[in-house]
Amino acid sequence: MAAAQPLVPTLMVEDAEYVRDLRETVDQAAGELRAIPEAAASVRPAPGKWSIKEIIGHLIDSASHNHQRFVRARWQDDLVFQGYQQDEWVAAQQYQSVPWDELVTLWHTYNRHVARVMAQVPADIARREHRRHNLDQIAWQTVPADQPATLGYFMRDYVGHLKHHLRQVAERRSGSA
Ligand code: NI
């Protein structure tokens, strides 16, 4: 007798709401960001505060780190990932001197890729609970070290962090921050 075919193919998170949310958010925001004049995008509101260029630069750093984490996760049996010093990374790369349009294109295209990476994560990997993780240190909305965490949670958290910084840009533009 032939082996039974699995009734359900491997589920992907393709249809997860955070994948759609990421695509829609960056597609919509890219046009709005491009409409910001280069000079306005370069203004630092106070010493030590990021300009809009630097906020988007920080989101590029977030994309590059999390791109790697979301791919690596399938070969790890924990969710322990390397962190990075956010301010130092922004300063080291001189995002202030990058042409604004180039920065927006990189941010938009990179996030469309992160959405593809997320969509390819098998659902069982996304849902697996891990007791060993460092989301108490590297997540935006942290998970206490003594509570289990999932990659699915961490991917949703990535989108939440991105939207948080886009709100910050919008507030800056409306003059309320
Ligand atoms: Ni941030």
Written as one string, the DSSP assignment of 2-70 is PPPPPSSPPPBSTT-HHHHHHHHHHHHHHHHHHTS-HHHHT--SSTTPPPHHHHHHHHHHHHHHHHHHH
Distance between CA atoms of residues 58 and 33, nearest Å = 15
Assess if residue 83 is contained within a domain: yes
Give the confidence band of 11 by pLDDT, cuts at 50, 70, 90.
low
CA atoms within 13 A on the CB side of 124: 5
Is pLDDT of 73 > 80? yes
Query: In this predicted structure, what is the pLDDT of residue 9?
Result: 47
- 77 CA to middle of ligand 1, Å? 26
- 101 CA to middle of ligand 1, Å? 21
Residue at token pair 């349009």: 101
- 141 CA to middle of ligand 1, Å? 11
- 29 CA to middle of ligand 1, Å? 17
Assess if residue 61 is contained within a domain: yes
Assess if residue 3 is contained within a domain: no
pTM of the model: 0.91
Token pair in block for residue 13: 């998170």
Distance between CA atoms of residues 177 and 167, nearest Å = 10
Give the length of the chain. Answer: 177
- The pair phi, psi for residue 149, each rounded to 5°, is -135, 155
Work out the end-to-end distance of the chain between its first and last CA atoms, rounded to an integer number of angstroms.
Answer: 69
Assess if residue 4 is contained within a domain: no
Assess if residue 2 is contained within a domain: no
Q: Encode pLDDT of 58-71 as tens digits.
A: 999 999 999 999 99
- 57 CA to middle of ligand 1, Å? 10
Give the confidence band of 10 by pLDDT, cuts at 50, 70, 90.
low
Assess if residue 167 is contained within a domain: yes
Residue at token pair 């849902």: 127
Give the confidence band of 13 by pLDDT, cuts at 50, 70, 90.
low
Is pLDDT of 15 > 60? yes
Is pLDDT of 106 > 70? yes
Beta bridge partners of 122: 12
Phi-psi region of 175 (alpha: psi -120 to 50; beta: other; left: phi over 0): left
Give the confidence band of 117 by pLDDT, cuts at 50, 70, 90.
very high
Is pLDDT of 163 > 50? yes
Looking at the structure of the chain, the number of domains it has is 1
Residue at token pair 């990021």: 50
Structural domain for 91, as ranges: 17-174
- 174 CA to middle of ligand 1, Å? 20
- 92 CA to middle of ligand 1, Å? 16
- 1 CA to middle of ligand 1, Å? 56
CATH number at residue 149: 1.20.120.450
Token pair in block for residue 83: 């962190």
Query: In this predicted structure, what is the pLDDT of residue 12?
Result: 61
Distance between CA atoms of residues 60 and 44, nearest Å = 18
- 124 CA to middle of ligand 1, Å? 28
